[in-house]
Chain A
Amino acid sequence: MFIIKYKKIFIAISISLVVISIVILSTVGLTFGIDFRGGALTEVYYENVRPEILQIQENIDGLSLGVALVQPTGENGFIIKTRSLSDLERQAVLKSLSQRDSIAVEKSFSSIGPSVGNELTRKAVTALILVVLVIICFIAYAFRKVGEQVSSWKYGLIAVGALLHDVILASGVFSILGYFFGAEVDSLFVVAILTVLGLSVSDTIVVFDRIRENLALNKDKKISFSDTVGQSLGQVYTRSINTSLTVIVVLLALFFLGPESTRYFAFMMTAGMFFGTYSSIFLASPLLVVWENYSSRKKAKLLVK
């Protein structure tokens, strides 16, 4: 199996991608949306002529709401980002957006108080930790009977390592998306991350499941661990690619044709699914072999001594 043969190359590719992502994340970073920071987002459109953006910016600044950002959206709309607004302030904003001959119509308005934002952050972090914990426990449980060559917690750790890889790469992609298109981290971003975790681990589990089965079958034959892994990969990679492909196809449909509000979400998930499939075939299993080779070499050394 070429994947096992060239395992070091694939592991190196993954590591360098992760390093690049981390560099991007620490320089460009992620922009957090009002879901997390608190703040207000007012979207308006004009039936006839959209006023000059400078004029609007001036009007809004005149309200002294602190830093206010006016962005054009679509052909005849604006998005105004401010700190969270009371009802009176919101009406003042709406009023200042309208000119004599072009009246602003409110398309959507969200104002999120800081405490609600903090709450979301807390919940997101808790959910992330919980998902990872549950996944480790679940894998340890599902693989409790395969401790003969590789102990089951190694499977769990490697699966989680592959997950981290997926999440870091997907976040890196999102960071680039934020840099060029202004995508912001909102609650759907968290949902995408958690769902990618769930789907990607199920991919890894299918691969490991096959390794578990072949280990049992090959027990009495003289087949090395790495050959068994290679054999298993050969059996499952069509399936892995096909199922990810179907999910990616629907996600692309969602990205290109779906609602505006889930667009970045669909993109993020597509990236996550892609890396998830990649990692379960090209990263998790090679890592398993490398780790096993390392341990058995150590064991052999001990025996020689």
Chain B
Amino acid sequence: MWKKRISALIVLVVGFGIGYFVYISEVGIVPETGAKSTITEKYGFKLGLDLSGGSHLIYRADVSALSGGDIKESMTSLRDVIERRVNIFGVSEPVVQVESGGFANAGEERLIVDLPGVTNIDKAIAMIGQTPLLEFRTESPGTVEDIQNAALDENGNISVNIADRYENTELTGRYLKRADLQFDPNTQMPIIGLQFDDEGAKLFEKITGENIGKTVAIFLDGAPLSTPVVQEAISGGQAVITGRFTPVEARTLVGRLNSGALPVPIELISTQTIGATLGADAINAGIYAGLVGVIAIALFFILWYRLPGIIAVLSLSVYVITMLALFKIIPVTLTAPGIAGFIISIGVAVDANVLIFERLKEEMKKGLSISEAIKSGFSHAWDSIRDSSTSTILTAIILFWFGTSLIKGFALTLGLGVLISLISAIVVSKVFLFSLGIKDSKLTRFLFSSGISK
């Protein structure tokens, strides 16, 4: 008996432990700064675009000019190019993925771009579709003073926004004839050589001539690459970019500049934008609906199944907490259908408990003592539980395969939910029921009956 009580205690403690983890990873903050603590940062719920707000873009890549082997390579480099551009755009946690042609999508090569938090997509679309933008900018008037006046912050860093200090010139990558990879003869560092066409050479000579002693900044896609000081007017249209490149970076950059465009042409075929307020409303509504659903089920269970009902509510709580923890650890990206799947799985999770308790009641009617009835109830109910869960799990697997990201979220939470609910019903409910050590009496038989019977 004590062994059973101890295992019940262990289950309770583990349940509380998981619950504490879920709680602390949602609200944990560093006391000194008020910032999110590491655990909250790492294990916070991951919200899908429909909840966090953001944009979902699908591009079709035109690979008709390429042969089989090259397609995969160009799609990978396409993804890299776009990922870099998106990163420059300053989106937090963008997802850029290639969807290869196959049966499911009519053989099209696609690029899927998820931009959480970006609801003004004009800029994003423009940036993604652009050829690499190489710009030469000159100092704005007043820059030098600004830099001299820039104060040190408490960490000893000077914060100067370089992009604000420069203004555009006419000279851009459009006037580029060729770029190549060179190595600095003195330092052996990789540098990028630029050769302008005639018009570009004239512009470059003019710009350098007007800015002797000042810096000219070279920007790529809006980010400064290097800011050399001009020593003299340069004619002939040759320039070098010395940044702190690794050889690989430099080679990639040269490739991009020379190709002047994305590796394959892309076309935007689908756009979805969800405003942030819409997402926040959806989260609140989802949580509210989930809570009300759980409370309704708990009430029903306690009223209908009495003592076993209370046990079922306990095991249901362990189930809900475990699921929330799994969402954080795996991590599962939560979407509105995903939350719906989870809420439905709560309804399904009690199925196993109902099967067991109904069986338990029948066994008691046959004249078995309560503890015998519990044993027999569990073992007889198992076949039905296994078979009925299997069909739901199989459906969830097919849905997961079929799904777009929204549907995948639903399938994952539902499938995972049914699987975990099996464990919670069989292990948790069983351990608790046995640990009670019920002896037969009028009262206990009443507590183990259900419905409107006495």
Interface residues of B in 119-150 (CB under 8 A from A): 119, 121-122, 125
Which single member of A108, A239, A249 contacts B347 (CB below 8 Å)? Answer: A249
> What A residues does B278 contact at CB under 8 A?
107-108, 260
> What A residues does B217 contact at CB under 8 A?
none
| Stretch touching chain A among B22-30, B258-266, B354-362 | B354-362
Interface residues of A in 58-107 (CB under 8 A from B): 84, 86-87, 90-91, 106-107
Is B183 in the interface zone, CB < 8 Å from A? no
Is B188 in the interface zone, CB < 8 Å from A? no
Q: How far is the CA of A201 from the CA of B121 in the complex (A)?
A: 44
Give min CB distance, B355 to chain A, whole Å: 6
Is A284 in the interface zone, CB < 8 Å from B? no
Q: Is the CB of A205 within 8 A of B384?
A: yes
Q: Is the CB of B289 within 8 A of A205?
A: no
Q: How far is the CA of A258 from the CA of B451 in the complex (A)?
A: 30
> What B residues does A249 contact at CB under 8 A?
293, 296-297, 300, 347
Is A22 in the interface zone, CB < 8 Å from B? no
Interface residues of A in 218-277 (CB under 8 A from B): 235-236, 238-239, 242-243, 245-251, 253-254, 256-262, 265-266, 269
A115-B108, A187-B404, A249-B296 known; A87+B269 contact, CB < 8 A: no
Is A178 in the interface zone, CB < 8 Å from B? no
Q: Is the CB of B104 within 8 A of A258?
A: no
| Stretch touching chain B among A7-15, A146-154, A191-199, A285-293 | A191-199
Q: How far is the CA of A135 from the CA of B281 in the complex (A)?
A: 37
Q: Is the CB of B392 within 8 A of A258?
A: no
> What B residues does A19 contact at CB under 8 A?
none
A116-B58, A210-B384 known; A261+B50 contact, CB < 8 A: yes
Which single member of A111, A119, A197, A253 contacts B293 (CB below 8 Å)? Answer: A253
Give min CB distance, B391 to chain A, whole Å: 5
Q: How far is the CA of A262 from the CA of B108 in the complex (A)?
A: 30
Which single member of A90, A242, A245, A258 contacts B271 (CB below 8 Å)? Answer: A90
Give min CB distance, A77 to chain B, whole Å: 11
Q: Is the CB of B60 within 8 A of A115?
A: yes
Interface residues of B in 348-377 (CB under 8 A from A): 348, 350-351, 354-355, 358, 362
Q: Is the CB of A235 within 8 A of B362?
A: yes
Which single member of B269, B271, B274 contacts A115 (CB below 8 Å)? Answer: B269
Is B395 in the interface zone, CB < 8 Å from A? yes
Name which residue of chain B comes closest to A236, CB basis. B358
Name which residue of chain B comes closest to A41, CB basis. B272
A91-B122, A239-B354 known; A110+B395 contact, CB < 8 A: no
Name which residue of chain A comes closest to B385, CB basis. A206
> What B residues does A250 contact at CB under 8 A?
289-290, 293-294, 296-297, 343-344, 346-347
Q: Is the CB of B344 within 8 A of A110?
A: no
Q: Is the CB of A242 within 8 A of B304?
A: yes
A198-B391, A260-B281, A261-B282 known; A191+B399 contact, CB < 8 A: yes
> What A residues does B362 contact at CB under 8 A?
235
A108-B274, A235-B362, A257-B288 known; A202+B387 contact, CB < 8 A: yes
Q: Is the CB of B354 within 8 A of A124?
A: no
Give min CB distance, A68 to chain B, whole Å: 17
Q: Is the CB of B293 within 8 A of A254?
A: yes
Is A294 in the interface zone, CB < 8 Å from B? no
Is B190 in the interface zone, CB < 8 Å from A? no
Q: Is the CB of A254 within 8 A of B340?
A: yes
> What A residues does B173 contact at CB under 8 A?
none
| Stretch touching chain A among B84-92, B406-414, B426-434 | B406-414
Q: Is the CB of B354 within 8 A of A259?
A: no
Q: Is the CB of B60 within 8 A of A202?
A: no
Q: How far is the CA of A260 from the CA of B285 in the complex (A)?
A: 8
Which single member of B274, B286, B350, B396 contacts A258 (CB below 8 Å)? Answer: B286
Is B315 in the interface zone, CB < 8 Å from A? no
Which single member of B108, B275, B351, B411 contacts A108 (CB below 8 Å)? Answer: B275
Q: How far is the CA of A198 from the CA of B278 in the complex (A)?
A: 31
Q: How far is the CA of A295 from the CA of B45 in the complex (A)?
A: 57
Q: How far is the CA of A91 from the CA of B271 in the complex (A)?
A: 13
Q: Could you list 25 A-B pairs, sorted by A, with CB under 8 Å?
A: A84-B269, A84-B270, A86-B268, A108-B272, A113-B269, A116-B105, A119-B105, A130-B398, A138-B390, A188-B407, A191-B337, A194-B402, A209-B383, A238-B451, A243-B351, A246-B347, A247-B344, A247-B347, A250-B293, A250-B346, A254-B340, A256-B289, A258-B289, A259-B282, A266-B340
Given A110-B273, A201-B391, A205-B388, 18 other A-B contacts at CB below 8 A? A87-B271, A110-B272, A116-B58, A116-B270, A124-B402, A138-B394, A142-B390, A187-B406, A191-B337, A202-B391, A209-B387, A213-B383, A235-B358, A238-B451, A250-B297, A258-B289, A259-B336, A261-B336
